[in-house]
Amino acid sequence: MDLGLKNKVAIVTGASKGIGAACAEILAAEGAKVVLVARTIRHLDPLARRLSKRYRTEVAFVSADMGMRGSADHVAKKVLRTFGRIDILINSAGSSQGGVFWEVTDDTWDSAVQLKFLGAVRMVRAVLPTMRRQKYGRIVNVAGNTGRQPHPRLLPGSTANAALLSFTKGLSEEIMKDGVFINALQPGPTETEHWGTLMANLSRGTGLSPKAFEKEFMKEIPMRRVAAAIEMARPIIFMASDLASYMTGRSIIVDGGWTKDLA
């Protein structure tokens, strides 16, 4: 199926690994011009080279910390200088560590808000003038399913994700008249680079090892497994394509049946 993404200019934040890298892979395979955004050049450069060579499309990268003010504007300006337009934005930067509430530090809360929530808000604000001028744009925010179903040991991320879902819905009605649609993916447990650290933090004080805790945690997931990053990237790319042309201000939950909600 042709997703209609050939030559579209797509920005992916958090692109060096995990869900962001998987999104970049699909976009490049579909012929989009991809801009990878993350903090570490040593991860971005080899990924950009590999995708460009394999799929014979233009892949650029920008090193930027989305938790810092000014980074979003820097990224948008650089993309416009390089490609002249911005068609797609996928906000995938940010992962929040959890733990027992009274042990979670201010730094952990600040990181969740600054990177996961405000980083996405600033990035959307930076690309909107171009998208509105073009009368075309597709934005997808990655906001974990704990934004809808808060977990007592994942409260910083749960709070940031809930705010991002509210932002997505609220902004959608303001920008749809300009041909710009914004949606969100709510991923459940996903096998990314920080998964082991997350299990270690969540297992503290339970008397279980991280591996034993993970085994118990999986019992809450009807599918009894953690998702691969590519399983999250596929619905994200669907929402970023014109196949989702009658969808805005909505979210898709992809969590192996974990969320206790009506279908």
Note whether 147 and 165 are within 8 A (CB).
yes
pLDDT average, residue stretch 56-83: 97
| pLDDT score of 263 | 66
| pLDDT score of 47 | 97
Mean pLDDT of the chain: 92
Question: In whole angstroms, what is the distance from residue 71 CA to residue 101 CA?
Answer: 30
Q: Is the pLDDT of residue 1 over 90?
A: no
> Which residue type occupies 136?
Y
Percent of the chain with pLDDT strictly greater than 70: 99
Q: Which of 68-72, 119-123, 193-197 has the lowest mean pLDDT?
A: 193-197
Question: In whole angstroms, what is the distance from residue 13 CA to residue 65 CA?
Answer: 9
Q: Which of 92, 137, 63, 121 is nearest to 229 (CA)?
A: 92
Q: What is the pLDDT of residues 185-214, one digit of tens each?
A: 999 889 877 777 778 877 877 888 988 988
Note whether 23 and 47 are within 8 A (CB).
no
| pLDDT score of 259 | 86
CA dihedral over 55, 57, 63, 64, signed as positive or negative: negative
| pLDDT score of 63 | 96
Q: Which of 109, 219, 205 is nearest to 155 (CA)?
A: 109
pLDDT average, residue stretch 180-184: 98
